[in-house]
Chains A and B, each alone.
Chain A
Amino acid sequence: MERKLNTPISDPVRKSLCAGEEVLISGTIYTARDAAHRLMVESIENKQALPFDFEGQIIYYVGPTPAKTGQAIGSCGPTSSYRMDRYSPSLMEKGLKVMIGKGERTEPLREVIQAQEAVYLIAIGGIGALLSKTVVSSEIIAYDELGPEAIRKLSVKDFPAIVAIDSKGQSIFK
């Protein structure tokens, strides 16, 4: 049975998640992939404001297909997380605690996740059609010029994910 999670995710809830647990997320999640990560880290280095406050929020690594009229979003499955590994530590220092992507992360990043008591969730890759049905609304809030890589604020209902690395650093991957 999947466990229901509502955003924003509180510290005790986040710390109670265990690697291997299946969850259904409802609430707000923010999208960002390679290019948006690069821009956010540049903003941090230049001491500029970030597109949104990371406190209790989730970043989901996705670049959706364009929505047709009547759809909130197009196909929207996860992209590989390891490409974000060089950026994530900076974001975690700024308060980011929950990330969703697909696939393994590097060992140094797992250690940062453990040190920050953050959580890495995975969504199933290649099921973007199914996941699109859990998105109620989508709005671009930053980096519009990046097209599919723009930052979107999604409102989701029962978005399925699996805890891959928990706050104690335990990983589901062999």
Chain B
Amino acid sequence: MHKIARELVVNHVKDMIIESTKTLDKSIVDSLFLAKDQEENPLAKSVLEKIIKNQEIAKTEDIPLCQDTGIVVCFVEVGRDLHFDYDLRHAINEGVSKGYIEGFLRKSIVSHPLKRVNTQDNTPAVIHFDFISGKQLIIHLAPKGGGSENMSTLKMLSPADGRQGIIDFVLKSIKDAGGKPCPPLIVGVGIGGNFEYVAELAKKAIFRPLSDVSPIMEDRLLEEELLEKINALDVGPMGLGGKTTALAVKVNSAACHIASLPVAVNLQCHSARKSEVILIGTQA
């Protein structure tokens, strides 16, 4: 039996939140530089230059990249050999609370969708648990912005709509969203599963590394085709036109019912903040 101290979880979550809201992953910065060099639209170039400058200021001056420091989403993988004598969900939320208060981050969570009273510490986080073998605890975490989340979409297509139906739906979602989700985007697409699972697939897709390509041939071809077609829409950075609407498209698929073809599109803005930690249990 293996254990991981509660304090360790709390502190790691806190640190990941503070760090990720101020630093953009190098792969995204590199991709923004590349996009800026390739843009021919002067306004698009100017927007990309400012986005690049912004992440430099955020990092060097310790200021959040964006004022919307998001709702925290966690995908937690729990090793089967681990034993917890505390509530892991509580520990993660305590880390979230500490991160937002000590990190001077914006508290954007209200306790009820209609009563709308701020919880004052950005809890609760949205936490998904899964089991893996071994004694590791892996926490994938993203402070996810509301603007891009609001433009995400889901539709239960008919199997006859097929691949073209998926492409049409994704393109329509991006076009309708325009500048509102703060493009350039990372587009997470879920296909298959059922109503709630397809949304989770799309959300998980935005957690994939920028350079990652799907190991499934059908999904990989869809990723390539969608990226090309999305960037031909002329939405551009902040919706002002240009060829940089998406930096990447990730497709995640799952088995589904004979009657269904669920599709979900989760949009991640250019402020694509995320972090990951692997904690290893010690023999108790």
B-binding residues in A (CB < 8 A):
20, 22, 35, 62-68, 71, 74-77, 79-80, 82, 102-104, 122, 124-130, 132-133, 147-148, 160, 162, 172-174
Partner of A75, one of B53, B64, B182, B235: B64
- The closest CB in chain A to the CB of B270 belongs to A126
Q: CB of B85 within 8 A of chain A?
A: no
Task: Tell me whether B54 and A125 are in contact (CB under 8 A).
Answer: no
Task: Tell me whether B43 and A103 are in contact (CB under 8 A).
Answer: no
Known A-B contacts A22-B46, A68-B104, A132-B63; the reply to A127 vs B69 at CB < 8 A is no
Residues in B with CB closer than 8 Å to A172 are 240
Residues in B with CB closer than 8 Å to A35 are 116
Task: Tell me whether B147 and A79 are in contact (CB under 8 A).
Answer: yes
Task: Tell me whether A129 and B61 are in contact (CB under 8 A).
Answer: yes
Complex CA–CA separation, A77 to B54 (angstroms): 11
Complex CA–CA separation, A107 to B243 (angstroms): 25
Q: A74-B63, A162-B43 are in contact. List 17 more A-B contacts (CB 8 A).
A: A35-B116, A65-B63, A75-B65, A75-B67, A77-B66, A77-B68, A103-B147, A122-B238, A127-B51, A127-B53, A128-B66, A129-B64, A129-B65, A130-B57, A148-B107, A174-B239, A174-B241
B149-208 interface (Cβ within 8 A of A): 150, 178-180, 182
Residues in A with CB closer than 8 Å to B150 are 80
Task: Tell me whether B108 and A148 are in contact (CB under 8 A).
Answer: yes
Residues in A with CB closer than 8 Å to B55 are 129
Complex CA–CA separation, A67 to B239 (angstroms): 30
Partner of B57, one of A68, A71, A122, A129: A129
Task: Tell me whether B50 and A130 are in contact (CB under 8 A).
Answer: yes
Complex CA–CA separation, A63 to B106 (angstroms): 8
How close is A5's CB to chain B, nearest CB, in angstroms? Answer: 17
Partner of A103, one of B54, B63, B239, B241: B239
Q: CB of B118 within 8 A of chain A?
A: yes
Task: Tell me whether B54 and A127 are in contact (CB under 8 A).
Answer: yes
Highest count of chain A CB atoms <10 Å: which of B50, B150, B238, B270:
B238
Task: Tell me whether B47 and A104 are in contact (CB under 8 A).
Answer: no
A-binding residues in B (CB < 8 A):
43, 46-47, 50-51, 53-55, 57-58, 61, 63-69, 104-108, 116, 118, 120, 145, 147, 150, 178-180, 182, 234-235, 238-241, 269-271
Task: Tell me whether B50 and A128 are in contact (CB under 8 A).
Answer: no
Task: Tell me whether A104 and B179 are in contact (CB under 8 A).
Answer: yes
Task: Tell me whether A173 and B50 are in contact (CB under 8 A).
Answer: no
Known A-B contacts A22-B46, A66-B104, A128-B54; the reply to A75 vs B66 at CB < 8 A is yes
Residues in B with CB closer than 8 Å to A130 are 50, 53-54, 57
Complex CA–CA separation, A68 to B120 (angstroms): 17
Known A-B contacts A66-B106, A130-B57; the reply to A74 vs B147 at CB < 8 A is no
A-B residue pairs in contact (CB < 8 Å), sample of 19: A63-B108, A75-B58, A75-B69, A79-B147, A80-B180, A103-B147, A103-B178, A104-B178, A122-B179, A122-B238, A125-B179, A126-B182, A127-B66, A129-B57, A129-B61, A130-B53, A132-B63, A133-B57, A162-B43
Partner of A124, one of B51, B64, B68: B51
Task: Tell me whether B180 and A173 are in contact (CB under 8 A).
Answer: no
How close is A151's CB to chain B, nearest CB, in angstroms? Answer: 16
Known A-B contacts A65-B105, A66-B106, A133-B57; the reply to A128 vs B65 at CB < 8 A is yes
- The closest CB in chain B to the CB of A147 belongs to B118
How close is B216's CB to chain A, nearest CB, in angstroms? Answer: 32
